[in-house]
Amino acid sequence: MSIPLLDLNRQYDSIKDEIRTAIDEVLESQYFIMGDEVKEFEKEVGAYCQANYSYGCASGSDALLLALMAIDLHPGDYVLTSPFTFFATAGAISRIGGIPVFLDIEKDSFNLDPEQVRSFMEGVHPVYKKLNPERERIKAIILVHLYGQMADMDPIMNIAKEYNLTVVEDAAQAIGAEYRGRRAGSIGDFGCFSFFPSKNLGAFGDAGLVTVKDQKLADKLDILRLHGAKPKYHHSLVGINSRLDTIQAAVLSVKLKYLDAWSERRREIAHRYNRLFEQAGVVGELGDCSESCTEMGGSECSLNPNKIIIPKETTGSEENNGRHIYHQYTIRSKKRDQIAQTLSEHTIGHSVYYPVSLHEQECFAYLGYQPQDCPVSHCASKQAISIPIFPELKDEEIEKVVGVVSEVVKG
Ligand SMILES: Cc1ncc(COP(=O)(O)O)c(C=O)c1O
């Protein structure tokens, strides 16, 4: 039995007719750029995300770039962010000349740690001392809702308010996720979404969206994605060409109707994985990473090599009125590479998100970060591995994956 990490064919088979009808309508109209379907989808998805304003664009990467362009981020400005994310989060900052300030993540959620943000803003964090930033050039925070669980928004919003920082939610992996009843993309100043095909709401190519809280910024973003022109050929700003294709909007509108059911099935699968790993006796505990990490000079890593850590619902738990939508089901283990190899031998899909923490990437070497500047992120990059999760995954497939992983871990 080979089990893919993600099988989009199974999803397509279940909604093929509807999708084809929606695409056909666009083909008949021949209105491929900013057709009616784009406005309709923006409205529907904006309501779904509890957003004030929402604008389609060409990708999640462009969504981040557009948000930073809308606040006039200047070369040399600082943006605080997580080092444990897809490259685009930091790439957007650097692309416009900004300086990414990498601060460590929480070990349980893999999301930006509000304590790290506070200590940086109070000027006592070692990274602050290293970068020695001009205070008025610290402009924004991009936090990431990794794997489908939202970052701890309230403390971060409080710090942002205190220091007048813009908050951008990188919600590329978290459409429909909730924090204390509020949806991803509705809390910060901007929410940036990706509809890359493998995302929970995936287009048939690249596509993205920005949600915006403030009307003035929303109006600005609306024209920045159209080369800064309003009306056409009259440019008050220098923008970019980043639109959501009409065909993609038509596909996404069909899929949006199923998103909640798909997310619920993802949650069910995640909880089933949890139960089965518990029953297999391989679930361990993670102690205080910063104290015990051997690579960082500690005496002993708290993670037992014969155990794994299963995903923890922090902000995404029901008790916290949250909702983790499990874009990924990510475990951690000291035997990560062995697990990966054995899964490959059994033709079971898996992936490491992400093998190199961004503060250790070659392109950011000029900033002088050391691995120990973000030890939790460094360690996560050595131990994390994502295993198959998608709504159509079958129960017997889940059991098979658990069996293979548990055997490696126990052995
Ligand atoms: C956390 C995160 N940010 C940004 C992006 C960029 O999105 P896109 O691939 O649509 O440009 C992605 C998607 O890959 C992502 O996972």
Distance CA 50, CA 193 (A): 13
pLDDT at 302 over 90: no
> Would you say residue 3 lies in a domain?
no
Note whether 176 and 281 are same-domain residues.
no
Q: Which of 200, 223, 256 is the last residue of a domain?
A: 256
Note whether 133 and 234 are same-domain residues.
yes
- What three-state secondary structure class fits 368? coil
> What pLDDT is stored for residue 1 in this prediction?
86
* pLDDT single digits (tens) 255-284: 999 999 999 999 999 999 999 999 999 999
Ligand 1 midpoint to CA 30 (Å): 29
Note whether 153 and 177 are same-domain residues.
yes
> What pLDDT is stored for residue 133 in this prediction?
97
- What three-state secondary structure class fits 197? coil
At residue 227, what is the residue type?
H
What mean pLDDT value characterizes the chain? 96
Report CA Rg, the chain.
21
* pLDDT single digits (tens) 368-397: 999 999 999 999 999 999 999 999 999 999
Distance CA 80, CA 91 (A): 13
At residue 243, what is the residue type?
R
pLDDT at 110 over 80: yes
Note whether 196 and 134 are same-domain residues.
yes
Note whether 83 and 185 are same-domain residues.
yes
Question: 145 near 152, Cβ under 8 Å?
Answer: no
Strand partners, 361: none
> Would you say residue 84 lies in a domain?
yes
Q: Are strands 190-194 and 208-212 parallel, antiparallel or unpaired?
A: antiparallel
| Angle at the Cα of 338 from the Cα atoms of 331 and 311, rounded to 5 degrees | 5
Mutate to test the pocket of ligand 1, among 57, 146, 173 (most ligand atoms within 8 A of CB): 173
- Altogether, the residues listed in the chain come to a count of 411
Paired tokens of 70? 């809308």
Q: What is the mean pLDDT of residues 359-374?
A: 96
> What pLDDT is stored for residue 297 in this prediction?
64
Note whether 279 and 220 are same-domain residues.
no
> Would you say residue 158 lies in a domain?
yes
Counting the structural domains of the chain, the total is 2
Note whether 116 and 130 are same-domain residues.
yes
Question: 269 near 395, Cβ under 8 Å?
Answer: no
Ligand 1 atom at minimal distance to the Cα of residue 353: 16
Ligand 1 midpoint to CA 207 (Å): 10
With both helix axes pointing from N to C terminus, report the angle between 8-29 and 36-48 in degrees, rounded to the nearest 10: 140
pLDDT at 294 over 90: no
> Would you say residue 2 lies in a domain?
no
Ligand 1 midpoint to CA 95 (Å): 15
pLDDT at 299 over 80: no
Mutate to test the pocket of ligand 1, among 94, 169, 194 (most ligand atoms within 8 A of CB): 194
Ligand 1 atom at minimal distance to the Cα of residue 196: 10
Ligand 1 midpoint to CA 60 (Å): 5
> What pLDDT is stored for residue 157 in this prediction?
98
Maximum distance among all alpha carbons in the chain? 67
Phi, psi of 235 (to 5 degrees): -105, 110
| Angle at the Cα of 285 from the Cα atoms of 324 and 147, rounded to 5 degrees | 25
Q: What is the mean pLDDT of residues 288-304?
A: 70
Q: Which of 256, 275, 300 is the last residue of a domain?
A: 256
Note whether 66 and 87 are same-domain residues.
yes
User: Please, which pLDDT band fits residue 17 given cuts at 50, 70 and 90?
Assistant: very high
> What pLDDT is stored for residue 162 in this prediction?
98
> What pLDDT is stored for residue 290 in this prediction?
62
pLDDT at 229 over 90: yes
Paired tokens of 190? 């901007």
Note whether 204 and 334 are same-domain residues.
no
Q: Which of 193, 225, 256 is the last residue of a domain?
A: 256
Ligand 1 midpoint to CA 401 (Å): 26
Note whether 226 and 266 are same-domain residues.
no
pLDDT at 296 over 90: no
Ligand 1 midpoint to CA 278 (Å): 32
CATH classification at residue 250? 3.40.640.10
* pLDDT single digits (tens) 19-63: 999 999 999 999 999 999 999 999 999 999 999 999 999 999 999
CB atoms within 10 A of CB 355: 11
Ligand 1 midpoint to CA 148 (Å): 12
* pLDDT single digits (tens) 316-340: 999 999 999 999 999 999 999 999 9
Paired tokens of 406? 């548990």
Note whether 41 and 190 are same-domain residues.
yes
> What pLDDT is stored for residue 41 in this prediction?
98
Range of the domain at 266: 259-410
For ligand 1, atom 10, the nearest C-alpha belongs to: 60
Ligand 1 midpoint to CA 161 (Å): 26
pLDDT at 286 over 90: no
Mutate to test the pocket of ligand 1, among 79, 86, 351, 357 (most ligand atoms within 8 A of CB): 86
> What pLDDT is stored for residue 301 in this prediction?
76
Which residues, including other chains, have CB under 8 Å from residue 43's CB and lie 6 or more apart? 54
> Would you say residue 1 lies in a domain?
no
| Angle at the Cα of 33 from the Cα atoms of 32 and 36, rounded to 5 degrees | 85
Distance CA 291, CA 166 (A): 32
Ligand 1 atom at minimal distance to the Cα of residue 88: 4
Paired tokens of 373? 């500047």
Ligand 1 midpoint to CA 194 (Å): 6
Ligand 1 midpoint to CA 64 (Å): 9
> Would you say residue 366 lies in a domain?
yes
Ligand 1 atom at minimal distance to the Cα of residue 145: 1
Which residues, including other chains, have CB under 8 Å from residue 411's CB and lie 6 or more apart? none
Question: 194 near 60, Cβ under 8 Å?
Answer: yes
Phi, psi of 53 (to 5 degrees): -135, 150
Which residues, including other chains, have CB under 8 Å from residue 94's CB and lie 6 or more apart? 100, 363, 364
Note whether 215 and 273 are same-domain residues.
no
> What pLDDT is stored for residue 289 in this prediction?
66
Mutate to test the pocket of ligand 1, among 57, 61, 94 (most ligand atoms within 8 A of CB): 61
* pLDDT single digits (tens) 111-144: 999 999 999 999 999 999 999 999 999 999 999 9
Ligand 1 atom at minimal distance to the Cα of residue 194: 10
> Would you say residue 172 lies in a domain?
yes
> What pLDDT is stored for residue 339 in this prediction?
98
User: Please, which pLDDT band fits residue 232 given cuts at 50, 70 and 90?
Assistant: very high
Question: 75 near 96, Cβ under 8 Å?
Answer: yes
Which residues, including other chains, have CB under 8 Å from residue 48's CB and lie 6 or more apart? 175, 176, 183, 256, 259
CATH classification at residue 288? 3.90.1150.10
Give, for 274, the enclosing helix (H) or strand (E): helix 246-279
Q: Which residues line ligand 1 (CB under 6 A)?
A: 59-61, 85-86, 88-89, 144, 170, 172-173, 194, 196, 206, 208
